[in-house]
Amino acid sequence: MTRGDVLGTERTLGRVLNVGTRASTITLALGLALASFAPGSIADLLLHAGLVILMATPVLRVAVSIVAFARRREWPFVAFTGVVLVLLIAGILVAVSG
């Protein structure tokens, strides 16, 4: 594993977090603005979509980390990160179902 590999992975993970955060912020802001002026199903849809994007961002970051570790053949990190991914998804499913 070279320093360039690590920096490339860090950039990719940063991009995932940046895009996810911006997308959720924009979607939530649009939904909130629309709900202020014209409450209804489109505003609700945007607000829900913004929250889903916000929750999906860390899950996607962990999934990208698994791919990065697998490419570098760092199998213990793939296993540990896989456990984290399963726990994140289980937590979201419990929150949504209950």
Give the pLDDT band of residue 53 (cuts 50, 70, 90): very high
Give the pLDDT band of residue 87 (cuts 50, 70, 90): very high
Is the model's pLDDT at 64 over the cut of 80?
A: yes
Q: How many residues does the structure list for the chain?
A: 98
Using alpha carbons, list the distances in angstroms from residue 78 to 63, 67, 82. 10, 8, 6
Is the model's pLDDT at 2 over the cut of 80?
A: no
Global confidence as pTM: 0.79
Retrieve residue 6's tokens.
């690590």
Helical spans, DSSP H, in the chain:
3-37, 41-71, 75-97
Is the model's pLDDT at 15 over the cut of 80?
A: yes
- The whole-chain average pLDDT of the chain stands at 91
Q: 55 near 92, Cβ under 8 Å? A: yes
Using alpha carbons, list the distances in angstroms from residue 66 to 32, 59, 60. 35, 11, 10
